[in-house]
Amino acid sequence: MRSTPVRKALLKILSKDQAPLSAFDILAKLHAQKLLANKTTVYRQLDSLEKQGLIHTVRLSDRSVRYELAGKDDHHHHLVCVKCNDVKDVDFENHLSRQEKNIEKSKKFKILRHSMEFFGLCFNCQ
């Protein structure tokens, strides 16, 4: 794993932004700072950073894909504003893990992971 300009810039961009960014956003931000990376490179770096556990891929059910820096309290869910597209974190684990046990028993289904998102209007957009 080498330390290249794209890799460094990419991590910096993700660490500055609190909301997860799309690959397109990231590419635009790189170009804005005169780092004219190719989209293939960006996708490959995102893959690589994900495999290293430095970032997480956020796949929302509206089919958009975004990337966020991995934190310590890792697993969480998102509030997605349908007007301005802002994304905020929200925690829900306690409530979910209790219910998952019920589901596993009643449905005879072994849950490995879940996804949950809330789509609506952020404070500014209401």
Partner DNA sequence: TTTATTAATGCAACAAAGTTGCAAATCATA
Partner DNA sequence: TATGATTTGCAACTTTGTTGCATTAATAAA
Contacts with DNA by CB under 7 A lie at: 1-7, 22-24, 36-41, 43-45, 47-48, 64-65
66 by DSSP, 3-state: which? Answer: strand
Q: Are 104 and 112 in contact (CB under 8 A)?
A: no
Among the listed residues 75, 73, 90, 68, the one whose alpha carbon sits nearest the alpha carbon of residue 19: 68
CB of 39 to a copy of itself, least distance (A): 18
Give least dist CB 120 to Zn ion, A. 9
Binding test (CB under 5 A) with Mn ion, winner from 17, 25, 86, 89: 89
What is the footprint of Zn ion within residues 61-120 (CB under 5 A)? 81, 83-84, 86
Which two three-digit tokens encode residue 29?
Answer: 């931000």
Site stretch for Mn ion (CB under 5 A), options 7-15, 32-40, 68-76, 103-111: 68-76
CB atoms within 10 A of CB 67: 23
Q: Rule CB under 8 A: which of 87-106 touch a copy of itself? A: 88, 90, 92, 95, 99-100, 103
Instruction: Of 53, 56, 66, 55, give the one whose Cα is nearest residue 24.
Output: 66
